[in-house]
Amino acid sequence: MVQNITQKAGAPQAWIEHIEPPLAGSASGPLAGLRFAIKDNIDAFGWPTTAACKEFAYLPKAHASVVQKLLDSGATLVGKTNLDQFACGLNGTRSPYGAVPNAFNPDYVSGGSSAGSAYVVANGEVDFSLGTDTAGSGRVPAGLNNIVGIKPSKGLLSTRGVVPAAQSVDCVSIFARTVDVAARVLQAAMGPDVQDPYSRTLQLASQPFGKSFRFGVPSTLEFFGDTAAEAAFAQALERLTAMGGVAVSIDYTPLAQAAALLYESALVAERYAAIRPFFDAHENKVMEPVRSIIARGRDFSAADLCTAQAQLRAYGQQAAAMWGGIDVLLVPTAPTHYTIAAMLANPVVLNRNLGAYTNFVNLLDYAAISVPSSIRPDGLPFGITFIGPCGSDWQLAELGQRYHHASGMLQGALQLPLPAPEPIAGLADSGSRMKVAVVGAHLSGMPLNGQLTERDGRLLQASTTSANYRLYALPGTVPPKPGLRRVAAGGAAIALEVWDMPQAQIGSFLALIPQPLGLGNVELADGTWVTGFICEGHALEAAQDVSEHGGWRAYVASRKPN
């Protein structure tokens, strides 16, 4: 249920553009009633994308893929938020639009580069927001502002329509005040995109870690003299142990070595490549220290990049050994807090310190979630991050929600208790079952129905979609299959069946679904939503619209000779 939240007076520096009137999404959907903001390196049709550089600004021709998915799911877009210029930084002070303050103490940094996106969530101005995360920008601002930050597995969310920072390791990240909201946004936004060169179809783990689990802790920890942060992390270890976790010391050396490569090797050349034409023509329009960091990318050869990539692979091989002894890795989200004044006086070193536990995650293809842990005696938040292998996103969300509720924390900078925890979408629970709507070859009596029945699938009801869909016959599919598409106008009700099956069987079922088909959210005739088959839009361009038949079974029957 959407909460009625009274917004606190926010910081104008957190916003670059308020969208007036707000851009409303679909009238119904799994995110209906939720308001969101996006970091201003993410495209929204009709509003300029600046990446916090006015001279770079352009008008996009379409929404970013993830923005369109969220609008289609019912969320309302209210604005674009401030960031460290070109998403280069972890502190939120590197913007000509002003330094974004911390939601708890305006003298302190908010964390970056997704500074504004975190602030407006913590302050209650939106229900959730999108950031980006290359080196920790979807986690550090969450930890410093007492909110949840999901850093998905690479490629799980499309980055089409996002100004790249380092494209091969970029992720769109999600901020919310609760894990439940963040996980629901992840479910709505995820999915492969053939127009994104780094998008991929991932098989996400569907079993939770369980009541007893092993969590890795770096054998050496650095808090840069911040005893309050050190004490807060010790408290987090005690809480996680009380929850059933068993601490396991891990060698942090290969992780730290991998992290160092991001800025201290030829890998930094990818940041230069991301904006090369603009940077070569307008270098003096880029603020320091962003300019110097990006300019270093010119200094490396292709051979240097090959060497750096080989080093990264070697560190990844060394680090992989730790997963044999742990289920999840635990680190402080950020090792300390800094004032804005201190950051401006020493911007490179202090920024690097904030990323002490973040830089390696995308480089080594891990997933992560930052969750609030405690409020320090000085009134500043402290957060922890759970890190898992690629595809552990739902597992991390479930553990993160358990921990967040065990902490007893309030939501963001608001005086609101956490709502009751909710089941995490896509994650199996003992004995639980999941509804799946089918519209084509999986219908009763159709060629692929056995894929449901052999997994203990049970037919619950025959129904139709809402009158907002079109059905297409996909060419060249064996057996013949349809594609279902939600449309804004001119739709029809399409016959379907709702089945359920054990959650534990969903993974193997997903593995049988070929592109361009996949599972998403489908609206039924009664207005409820259920997981069902959807189709990627590009595959429908050459497909025949068969909606006039009212369903796949009727269309197939019409093709049979009399």
**Catalytically annotated residues:** 39, 113, 137
Residues 6+ apart with CB under 8 A from 292: none
User: Both tokens of residue 349?
Assistant: 């070193």
User: Whole-angstrom Cα distance, residue 434 to residue 503?
Assistant: 6
User: Whole-angstrom Cα distance, residue 130 to residue 69?
Assistant: 12
Residues 6+ apart with CB under 8 A from 192: 155, 158, 199, 200, 201, 515, 518, 536
Cβ contact 96:54 at 8 Å: yes
User: Whole-angstrom Cα distance, residue 534 to residue 521?
Assistant: 8
Cβ contact 62:69 at 8 Å: no
User: Both tokens of residue 325?
Assistant: 């002894």
CA-angle at 217, arms to 214 and 220, nearest 5°: 160
Integer CA distances (angstroms), 265 to 96, 262, 297, in order: 28, 6, 9
Q: How many CB atoms lie within 10 A of CB 486?
A: 18
User: Both tokens of residue 352?
Assistant: 């690097």
Phi-psi sector, 431: left (phi>0), alpha (psi -120 to 50), beta: left
Residues 6+ apart with CB under 8 A from 76: 22, 23, 24, 25, 34, 35, 36
For residue 138, give the nearest of 39, 271, 225, 1 by alpha carbon: 39
Q: What are phi and psi of 490, to 5 degrees?
A: 75, 25
Cβ contact 383:358 at 8 Å: no
Cβ contact 305:262 at 8 Å: no
For residue 535, give the nearest of 501, 484, 462 by alpha carbon: 484
